[in-house]
Structure 1
Amino acid sequence: MRQDFASYPSLSGKTVFISGGASGIGAEIVAAFASQGSRVGFLDIDQKASAALTDATPGDITYEICDLKDVDALRSGLGNLKSRIGPASVLINNAARDDRHDWADVTPDIWDERMHTNLRHMFFSIQAVAPDMIAAGGGSIINMGSNSWWEAGGGFPAYATAKAAVHGLTRTMARDLGQHRIRVNTVVPGWIMTERQKTLWATPEALEKHQDRQCLPDLIDPVYVARMVLFLASADAAMCSANNYMVEAGSI
Structure 2
Amino acid sequence: MPGPLNGRTALVTGATGGLGSAIARRLASDGATVALAHFGDDRTAAELAASLPAVVSLSGDLRDTEVVRSLCRQTHEALGPIDILVSNAGVYPRRRWTETTPDHWDDALATNLTSHYLLAHELTPAMTAVGWGRIITIGSVLAMAGRHDLSGYISAKAGLEGLTRALARELGPSGITANCVAPGSIRVPAEDTVVDDAEAMTARQLARQCVQRRGRPEDVAAAVAFLATDDAGFITGQTLRVDGGWILG
Same fold by TM-score greater than 0.5: yes
The runs of 5 or more residues in structure 1 that have no matched partner are 1-6
Identity %: 31
Match for residue 194 of structure 1? 188
- The yes-or-no answer on 1:91 pairing with 2:81 is no
Deviations 1:8-33 (A, max 9, x none): 83301200011111121001011111
State TM-score, norm by structure 1: 0.94
SS in 2 for 1:9: coil
- The yes-or-no answer on 1:218 pairing with 2:207 is no
Residue 231 (structure 2) aligned to one of 213, 236, 240: 236
The runs of 5 or more residues in structure 2 that have no matched partner are none
Match for residue 153 of structure 2? 159
- The yes-or-no answer on 1:182 pairing with 2:176 is yes
Structure-2 separation of matches of 1:10 and 1:207: 35
Contact 1:94–1:144 (8 Å) recurs in 2: yes
Contact 1:119–1:162 (8 Å) recurs in 2: yes
Match for residue 51 of structure 1? 46
Structure-2 separation of matches of 1:27 and 1:8: 22
State TM-score, norm by structure 2: 0.95
SS in 2 for 1:96: coil
Following superposition, the deviation at residue 102 of structure 1 comes to: 1.0
Deviations 1:110-134 (A, max 9, x none): 1111111101011111111101101
Structure-2 separation of matches of 1:235 and 1:36: 13
Contact 2:15–2:24 (8 Å) recurs in 1: yes
Following superposition, the deviation at residue 158 of structure 1 comes to: 0.3
Contact 2:3–2:29 (8 Å) recurs in 1: no
1:65-144 equivalence runs, <5 A: 65-144=59-138
Structure-2 separation of matches of 1:136 and 1:24: 32
SS in 2 for 1:40: strand
Structure-1 separation of matches of 2:217 and 2:177: 23
SS in 1 for 2:4: helix
Deviations 1:133-168 (A, max 9, x none): 011111110011101132221111000000010111
Contact 2:2–2:31 (8 Å) recurs in 1: no
Structure-2 separation of matches of 1:217 and 1:199: 23
Contact 2:4–2:31 (8 Å) recurs in 1: no
Match for residue 27 of structure 1? 21
Contact 1:118–1:159 (8 Å) recurs in 2: yes
Q: What amino acid sits opposite 1:66 in the alignment?
A: G
Q: What amino acid sits opposite 2:48 in the alignment?
A: L
Structure-2 separation of matches of 1:181 and 1:131: 12
Q: What amino acid sits opposite 2:57 in the alignment?
A: Y
Match for residue 204 of structure 2? 209
Structure-2 separation of matches of 1:93 and 1:63: 15
Q: What amino acid sits opposite 1:219 in the alignment?
A: R
User: How many residues matched?
Assistant: 245
Following superposition, the deviation at residue 107 of structure 1 comes to: 1.1
Contact 2:140–2:183 (8 Å) recurs in 1: yes
Deviations 1:152-192 (A, max 9, x none): 21111000000010111011111110110100000010011
